[in-house]
Amino acid sequence: MFGRHRRQYTKQIARSLNYILNNPKCFDLTQLCVVKGHHCWLVHVDISVLRYEGNLHDACSFAMKAALSETKVPALKVNHDEETNEVSVDVCDDPYQYGVLDVSNLPVLITVGQINGVHTVDTTIKEDSVTLARITYGIKPSGSIVYMNKDGGGSLDLLNIRSMGKIASDSGLQMNALLMKKIQLSKEKQASWGHTNERLLFDDDTFV
């Protein structure tokens, strides 16, 4: 996938993730607030794809959820002067004083495609290239659908859409639980290491 199509594809992924992040029911934006009306945290999510093997929507949402759950928000010292209404914010010097973001309600994207009447989840690159119609669902950990986007030139009838929704809901539930479990395992593994810097990025040891 090169050139214009790749740009469109990645922009669509960015749009889906953007919608999920800016939705107050999925991600509590007030936890990013520092001083109401004055300062707030700005979060940039940058995703670098090292290898594309199909189903990029889902993989990006898993990566984003995992990364946000590990984000360290530096501790701040805020001085709010009531009379002059001046606010001064200082970042704490101690790198070990930080807060974490709450991503327990953050949905995960599940793409369900249709090939020849059969519904597919987590397609490989070959299956992706023959899928004429697919729907990307945003599924919360409770299984409810918060986002839906249809992609591809093929058409779907209502019966198909309903069954795809059910499939997405079930897999979304499982994936959310699996993701949180893996994050927990990874945190335990990291706690047993001394310096996280010592591990090479692509070492088998770092994966859970």
Partner 1 sequence: MDTSSPTQKKKPNELTSTLTTDYISGFDLISIEGYRQDGRKPDELRHFRVSFNVVSDADGSCYMEHGNCKLLATIYGPYEGESRSNQEQAVITCDFSMTSYCVSERRLRTFGDMKSQKLQMAIQRVFQQAVNTETYPKSQIDIHLKILQSDGNDYCPCVNATTLAFINAGIPMKDFVCSSTVGYIQNKCIIDLNQQEEQQKSPQLTLTLMPQRNDIVALTCESRVHHDIYNDMLDAATSANLQLFHLMKQAVINQLKTALHV
Q: How far is the CB of 5 from partner 1 (least distance, A)?
A: 19
Residue 208 one-letter amino acid: V
Of 2, 5, 24, 44, the residue at the interface with partner 1 (CB under 8 A) is 44
Q: Residue 123's CB: how many other CB atoms inside 10 A? A: 20
DSSP string, 41-89: ---------S---S-HHHHHHHHHHHHHHTPEEEPEEEEEETTTTEEEE
- 205 near partner 1, judged by CB under 8 A: no
- Residues in the interface with partner 1 (CB under 8 A) total 9
Whichever of 160 and 206 has its CB closer to partner 1, that residue is 206
Whichever of 46 and 157 has its CB closer to partner 1, that residue is 46
Q: How far is the CB of 51 from partner 1 (least distance, A)?
A: 6
Q: How far is the CB of 168 from partner 1 (least distance, A)?
A: 29
Which one of 21-29, 170-178, 182-190, 198-206 is the stretch in contact with partner 1 (CB under 8 A)?
Answer: 198-206
Q: How far is the CB of 1 from partner 1 (least distance, A)?
A: 13
Which one of 8-16, 41-49, 96-104, 155-163 is the stretch in contact with partner 1 (CB under 8 A)?
Answer: 41-49
111: which residues sit within 8 A by CB, 6+ positions away?
55, 57, 58, 121, 122, 123, 134, 135, 136, 137
Q: Phi/psi at 156 (nearest 5 deg)?
A: -130, 140
* SS3 call for 117: coil
Whichever of 41 and 147 has its CB closer to partner 1, that residue is 41
Residue 122 one-letter amino acid: D
> Strands 98-100, 76-81: parallel, antiparallel or unpaired by DSSP?
unpaired
Of 4, 5, 51, 195, the residue at the interface with partner 1 (CB under 8 A) is 51
- Binding residues for partner 1, rule: CB under 8 A, are 44, 46, 48, 50-51, 200-203
